[in-house]
C-alpha cells in the first residue's frame, strides 16, 4: 500500500513544492510543508474518494491548509524594497544589515521541474510577484494562488478554503487591488522573449566593468536590492553609482556562473581573491521587461547559495 501511495503522489511533489513556495516565500519551509502534506495525505488515504476529486486536487487542498496553518506562526518574507522604507540616495552609504528579517528566498528552477514545467509555472513564481504576495493576508494569498496559478474556479476555491464563493471573489478583488497598488502588472509576471539576450549583454558589460554599457541596459526606474541588507536603490543613476562603488571596493576581476531561479535568469558572481582564485560574492537574479533590466535582486546568503549548489570558491 505504501508503494501504491508513493507512486500516486510522487508526480505532484515538485508542483506542490512550487505551490508551498508561492505561499511561504521560503524554499526550506516549502520543502517541510510538502512533507507535512504527504504525511497528512497518507494518514487520510482511506478517506480519499476519486469520484469527488482528482488526486492532484485533493493534495492541493491539503497543501493549502498546511500552508495556512504554517502562516499563523510565521512572519511574511519581504524583499528590501517592500519593507516601506525609502530608497537610498547615497550609493556610498553604510550598508545596514536587516538582522533577523526572514527574507524571501529565490527558488532554483531545477527544483521546480523540467523546462516545460518551469515555463508553465514561471509567471506565478517571478520574484516581484511572490514578494508582493507576501503582503497579502494568508487567505487572500491562498485564493489568489489557487485562482491565478492553478486556474481553479471560485466555487472550488471556496470549498478548499471553507469560504463562500462570494467571499472568495471579494478576497480575489482585494488581493488584486493590493498587487496593483504595489505596481505589479502583466509585464511583471510574463516571460520576456529577450531575457537571455539582455542578460548576456549585461554579463559582458559586468565582466568588462563597463559602466556605460551597463547603464544602457537599465530601465529608468530599475531597482537594486541586496538582502540581507536593508539598503535598496531606485533609478539608473543610483544603480550605476553603486556599481562604481562595487568595482572600487572589490576590483574589476570577476567570474560568473549562470543560474536560473523563479523562471528568471541570473548569475553567481565570484570576485578575485587576494590569495588567488575567486571567492563567492553574490547571487544576482534579474527581472527583464521590454528589453531592459527593471530589477536586480542581489543575495548574500550561504543558505541560498547551497540551494543552487554553488561552490564557495572557483580556481584560477
pLDDT of 181 higher than 90:
no
Cβ burial, residue 60 (10 Å; 0-12/13-18/19+) = buried
The CATH number assigned to the domain with range 1-74 reads: 1.10.1740.10
pLDDT of 193 higher than 80:
no
Domain residue ranges of the chain, discontinuous segments joined by +: 1-74, 195-314
**Which residues sit opposite 314 in a β-bridge?**
278
Confidence (pLDDT) at 188: 52
SS3 221: strand
The pLDDT tens digits for 51-97 are: 888 999 999 999 999 999 999 998 889 999 999 899 999 999 999 99
Summarize the confidence of residues 231-238 as an average pLDDT: 97
Confidence (pLDDT) at 3: 79
Q: Is the dihedral of CA 37, 42, 47, 50 positive or negative?
A: positive
Q: How far apart are CA 84 and CA 287, in angstroms?
A: 20
Please report, rounded to a whole number, the percentage of residues in the chain having pLDDT higher than 90: 79
Q: How many other C-beta atoms lie within 10 A of the C-beta of residue 1?
A: 7
The residues near 159 (Cβ < 8 Å, ≥ 6 apart) are: 61
Backbone angles phi, psi at 156, to 5 degrees: -70, -40
HSE of 107 in the Cβ direction (CA atoms, 13 Å)?
33
Give the angle subtended at the CA of 258 by the CAs of 252 and 262, to the nearest 5°.
125
Confidence (pLDDT) at 194: 79
Confidence (pLDDT) at 185: 63
Q: How far apart are CA 260 and CA 177, in angstroms?
A: 30
H-helix or E-strand containing 145? none
Looking at every residue in the chain, the average pLDDT score rounds to: 92
- Which pLDDT band holds residue 184 (cuts at 50, 70, 90)? confident
The pLDDT tens digits for 240-272 are: 999 999 999 999 999 999 999 998 999 999 999
pLDDT of 118 higher than 70:
no
DSSP for 21-42?
HHHHS-HHHHHHHHHHHHHHHH
- Which pLDDT band holds residue 4 (cuts at 50, 70, 90)? confident
pLDDT of 50 higher than 90:
no
Instruction: Tell me how long the chain is.
Output: 316
Buried b (16+ CB within 10 A) or exposed e, 236-273: bebbbbbbeebeeeeeeebbbeebbbbbbbbbbbbbbe
Domain 195-314, architecture per CATH? Roll (3.10)
- Which pLDDT band holds residue 41 (cuts at 50, 70, 90)? very high
Confidence (pLDDT) at 99: 92
SS3 171: helix
The pLDDT tens digits for 157-178 are: 999 999 999 999 999 999 999 9
SS3 293: strand
Summarize the confidence of residues 138-148 as an average pLDDT: 94
Give the distance between the most distant pair of CA atoms in the chain. 66
Please report, rounded to a whole number, the percentage of residues in the chain having pLDDT higher than 70: 94
H-helix or E-strand containing 261? strand 254-261
Q: How far apart are CA 73 and CA 70, in angstroms?
A: 6
Q: Is the peptide bond between 228 and the residue preceding it cis, with omega within 30 degrees of 0?
A: yes
Confidence (pLDDT) at 191: 58
List for the chain the helix, strand, coil content (%; round to 5).
Answer: 50, 15, 30
Confidence (pLDDT) at 189: 53
Lowest mean pLDDT among 74-88, 172-186, 203-217: 172-186
The residues near 37 (Cβ < 8 Å, ≥ 6 apart) are: 16, 20, 59, 62, 63, 66
Summarize the confidence of residues 111-120 as an average pLDDT: 63
- Which pLDDT band holds residue 221 (cuts at 50, 70, 90)? very high
Lowest mean pLDDT among 30-44, 49-63, 180-194: 180-194
Give the angle subtended at the CA of 130 by the CAs of 17 and 217, to the nearest 5°.
120
- Which pLDDT band holds residue 228 (cuts at 50, 70, 90)? very high
pLDDT of 239 higher than 70:
yes
pLDDT of 190 higher than 80:
no
Select the more confidently predicted residue: 16 or 119.
Answer: 16
Summarize the confidence of residues 290-302 as an average pLDDT: 95
Confidence (pLDDT) at 97: 96
CA proximity to 236, closest of 247, 256, 221, 255: 221
Amino acid at each position: 500500500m505504501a508503494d501504491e501511495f508513493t507512486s500516486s503522489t510522487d508526480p505532484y511533489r515538485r508542483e506542490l513544492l512550487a505551490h508551498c513556495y508561492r505561499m511561504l516565500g521560503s524554499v526550506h519551509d516549502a520543502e517541510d510543508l510538502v512533507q507535512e502534506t504527504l504525511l497528512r495525505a497518507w494518514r487520510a488515504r482511506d478517506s480519499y474518494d476519486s469520484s469527488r476529486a482528482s488526486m492532484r486536487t485533493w493534495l492541493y487542498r491539503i497543501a493549502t491548509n498546511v500552508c495556512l496553518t504554517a502562516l499563523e506562526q510565521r512572519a511574511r518574507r519581504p524583499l528590501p524594497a517592500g519593507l516601506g522604507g525609502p530608497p537610498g540616495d547615497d550609493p556610498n552609504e553604510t550598508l545596514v544589515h536587516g538582522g533577523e528579517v526572514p527574507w524571501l528566498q529565490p527558488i532554483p528552477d531545477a527544483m521546480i521541474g523540467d523546462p516545460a514545467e518551469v515555463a508553465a509555472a514561471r509567471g506565478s513564481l517571478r520574484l516581484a510577484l511572490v514578494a508582493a504576495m507576501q503582503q497579502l493576508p494568508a487567505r487572500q494569498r491562498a485564493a489568489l494562488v489557487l485562482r491565478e496559478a492553478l486556474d481553479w474556479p471560485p466555487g472550488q476555491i471556496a470549498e478548499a478554503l471553507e469560504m463562500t464563493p462570494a467571499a472568495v471573489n471579494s478576497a480575489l478583488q482585494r488581493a488584486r487591488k493590493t498587487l496593483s497598488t504595489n505596481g505589479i502588472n502583466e509585464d511583471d509576471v510574463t516571460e520576456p522573449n529577450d531575457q537571455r539576450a539582455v542578460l548576456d549583454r549585461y554579463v559582458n558589460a559586468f565582466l568588462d566593468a563597463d559602466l556605460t554599457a551597463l547603464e544602457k541596459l537599465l530601465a529608468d526606474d530599475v531597482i537594486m536590492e541586496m538582502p540581507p541588507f536593508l539598503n535598496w536603490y531606485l533609478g539608473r543613476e543610483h544603480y550605476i553609482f553603486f556599481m562604481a562603488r562595487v568595482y572600487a571596493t572589490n576590483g574589476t576581476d570577476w567570474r560568473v556562473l549562470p543560474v536560473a531561479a523563479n523562471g528568471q535568469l541570473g548569475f553567481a558572481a565570484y570576485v578575485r581573491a587576494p590569495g588567488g582564485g575567486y571567492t563567492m560574492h553574490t547571487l544576482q537574479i534579474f527581472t527583464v521587461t521590454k528589453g531592459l533590466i527593471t530589477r536586480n535582486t542581489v543575495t548574500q546568503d550561504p543558505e541560498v547559495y547551497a540551494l543552487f549548489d554553488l561552490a564557495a570558491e572557483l580556481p584560477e
